[in-house]
Amino acid sequence: MSGIRKAAKLARTCAVVSILLVAWASLMPDRQATEIEQLPVINALAHVIMHFIVTVCVMTGWHDRLSKALPLAALIAIGMEVGQIIVPGREFDMIELAGNLLGFGLGWAFFLSLRRFSRHATL
């Protein structure tokens, strides 16, 4: 297996693990608010970081299928917050959704800059 294929496989594995962790953190029913969630700025920052990581992993893992990876990462960012509507003890929060989308956007921009840098580095 070539180095690129190994790296892509590792990135896909990281993507799946990060998606599962974000889903678990976002959709756990009837749980008490943690100290982080009680501080709105820190909570929003946590959402940005989580979705930044998910987006970078998804985009890197499926770099050969960006037309599918980009909507998948966006759907995860939106779906994790909207999905809380049907989970007992959880509720939809616009600030958290904004954090998810900011993390998605920053992750996408970071992926694109890495991609541009890697093209220039190999030329």
What does the pLDDT look like over 47-92, one tens digit per residue?
999 999 999 999 988 888 888 999 999 999 999 999 989 988 888 9
Is the per-residue pLDDT at 120 higher than 90?
A: no
* Residue 91, amino acid: E
**Across the chain, what does the average pLDDT equal?**
86
Q: CA–CA separation, 32 vs 34, rounded Å?
A: 6
Q: What is the pLDDT of residue 1?
A: 61
Q: CA–CA separation, 49 vs 63, rounded Å?
A: 21
Could you report the per-residue pLDDT of 34-52, keeping only the tens digit for each? 655 667 788 889 899 999 9
Residues in the chain, total: 123
Is the per-residue pLDDT at 2 higher than 60?
A: yes
Provide the Cα torsion 85, 104, 95, 86; round to 10°.
Answer: 0
